[in-house]
Amino acid sequence: MAGPVVSAPSSELVLAVDIGGTKTSAALADRDDVLLRTETAPTRAAEGPAAVVSTVVGLARRLLDGSPARLSGVGIGAAGVVNAVTGTIVSATDTFADWPGTPVARLVREALGELLSPGAPVVVQNDVDAHAEGEHRHGAAAGADSVLVVAVGTGVGAGLILDGRAVRGAHHVAGEIAHLPTPGAEHLRCPCGRTGHLEAIGSGIGLHAHFRWLGGDPLIVDARGVAAAAAHGDPIARRALGDSAAAVGRALAGAATIFDPERIVITGGVPKIGDAWWLPMRRAFAADAIDALQPTPILPGVLGDDAPLRGAAASAWRAL
Ligand SMILES: [Zn+2]
């Protein structure tokens, strides 16, 4: 990652930022959202908004490394429900202290100061929405008019693009299938406090919780352990994994009925379990989706950790 990439002061660059629960990544990106250089630091979410913003500024300084180039814009994907019009956090999990209400766009603009070109936009959106924008511009959904991107990891997140545009909704949660009521999850509590939602069984934490509810080995402490046990033939682990994946497939069939996306793209750590996850997920989708929706491609994301950064870069250029 070392070495100057900012060749001339006239190079047009944006700063792309991905603020996640555990780490914050930042990159300099060119006009095509190509990441020229990336830096990462722990998020310090528990220390409050000022610490989170100061991490972003520290990463920007490291990336520019004394270069005279100034940033043409900044695009940020941030954890939580985000008002993308004002760049303010609407709500978030407890991981982030005092995060709801934080005017991230304004704070980052003020803190970056002279690193920004005059009038440079600072735009903020939800991190999975940024991920969706990345996969839509440059990844598994490139060329599609519409796509539902679902991240299945520790939690479940989603981003929705219809007619080429990100859909946010009246309350900034359009497409957020994590909290769809999902048959088979009634016995599990969702992080939102309710029971029976997709995230309660379909996330990595949900998969493990369901495994324990079925009477699975208490020495297995996470989804990775459940997947490994399933691979070794543990019947409870296999059942939990099948149920968890099927819940996702069922929810996707419901979401497809409402939005009818051209493609569905799945990202995150849980799908990396492989066929033991994808096959029951696809089977459940095929069982529930009406005939017209059966051909909807359900594809793995291709950009990985670059997706939210490339999407954030695209959002900055779009705001210029
Ligand atoms: Zn919920």
Ordered by where they begin, the domains of the chain are 14-130+306-319 (3.30.420.40), 142-300 (3.30.420.40)
- CA of 219 relative to ligand 1 center, distance in Å: 27
- CA of 199 relative to ligand 1 center, distance in Å: 6
- Residue 69, pLDDT score: 87
- Residue 1, pLDDT score: 45
Region 101-105 average pLDDT? 97
- CA of 198 relative to ligand 1 center, distance in Å: 7
What mean pLDDT is reported for the chain? 95
Residues forming a β-bridge with 116:
71
Residue 100 CB contacts under 8 Å (≥ 6 apart), including other chains: 80, 89, 90, 91, 92
- CA of 190 relative to ligand 1 center, distance in Å: 5
- CA of 320 relative to ligand 1 center, distance in Å: 36
Tokens of 18: 């991905």
Q: Which of 64-68, 166-170, 239-243 shows the lowest per-residue confidence on average (mean pLDDT)? A: 64-68
- CA of 319 relative to ligand 1 center, distance in Å: 32
233-271 pLDDT per residue, tens: 999 999 999 999 999 999 999 999 999 999 999 999 999
Q: Which of 85-94, 206-215, 282-291 shows the lowest per-residue confidence on average (mean pLDDT)? A: 85-94
- CA of 41 relative to ligand 1 center, distance in Å: 29
- CA of 186 relative to ligand 1 center, distance in Å: 11
The values of phi and psi at residue 300, to 5°, are -75, 145
Tokens of 168: 């946010």
Q: Which of 6-10, 139-143, 195-199, 284-288 shows the lowest per-residue confidence on average (mean pLDDT)? A: 6-10
- CA of 173 relative to ligand 1 center, distance in Å: 12
- CA of 257 relative to ligand 1 center, distance in Å: 20
- CA of 3 relative to ligand 1 center, distance in Å: 45
Region 50-75 average pLDDT? 95
The whole-angstrom separation of Cα 46 and Cα 63 is 25
Q: Which of 35-39, 66-70, 214-218 shows the lowest per-residue confidence on average (mean pLDDT)? A: 66-70
- CA of 278 relative to ligand 1 center, distance in Å: 23
- CA of 180 relative to ligand 1 center, distance in Å: 7
- CA of 281 relative to ligand 1 center, distance in Å: 20
- pLDDT confidence band for 6 (50 / 70 / 90): low
Contact 75, 315 (CB under 8 A): yes
- CA of 314 relative to ligand 1 center, distance in Å: 30
The whole-angstrom separation of Cα 57 and Cα 15 is 10
pLDDT(275) > 90:
yes
Region 104-110 average pLDDT? 97
- CA of 84 relative to ligand 1 center, distance in Å: 22
- Residue 5, pLDDT score: 54
Summary count for the chain: helices (H), strands (E): 9, 12
- CA of 31 relative to ligand 1 center, distance in Å: 38
Residues with beta carbon < 5 A to ion ligand 1?
A: 179, 190, 192, 197
- pLDDT confidence band for 174 (50 / 70 / 90): very high
Tokens of 258: 């409402």
Predicted model pTM: 0.93
- Residue 3, pLDDT score: 47
- pLDDT confidence band for 95 (50 / 70 / 90): confident
- pLDDT confidence band for 68 (50 / 70 / 90): confident
- pLDDT confidence band for 11 (50 / 70 / 90): confident
